[in-house]
Amino acid sequence: MHAAADLDQPLDVRALSKLKWRTRRGLLENDLFIARFFEQHESRLTVRQAKAMETLMDLSDHDLLDLLLQRKEPEPAWAGADVVELLRLMRV
């Protein structure tokens, strides 16, 4: 398990590359949200945010799009504060 301080460390280049590969989606709309997020935030992305992104990437394309378009909010059962904060950044 990661210590809280470890989670706030910047994401290293290799981990960022793997995350970008993992975030490729089947719906163009999702890809546009994700690409814009990386353009704005990749230089300061943290391990915590990467873990939250991994959680979002486990969703189906349509469920992810519903969250990004604010058609629905994340379920507390699977989404913690980190996922909610990441979604806030991605929706801008």
The DSSP secondary structure of 59-85, one letter per residue, reads: S-HHHHHHHHTTSS---TTT--HHHHH
Measured from the Cβ of residue 51, the count of other Cβ atoms closer than 10 Å reads 17
From residue 33, how far is each of 7, 27, 29, 30, 68 by CA, in Å?
24, 10, 7, 5, 8
Per-residue pLDDT reduced to its tens digit, 26-75: 999 999 999 999 999 999 999 999 999 999 999 999 999 999 999 999 98
Q: How would CATH label the architecture of 4-91? A: Orthogonal Bundle (1.10)
Q: Break the chain down into helix, strand, coil percent, rounded to 5.
A: 65, 0, 30
If phi over 0 gives left and psi between -120 and 50 gives alpha, with beta otherwise, what is residue 80?
Answer: beta
pTM of the model: 0.89
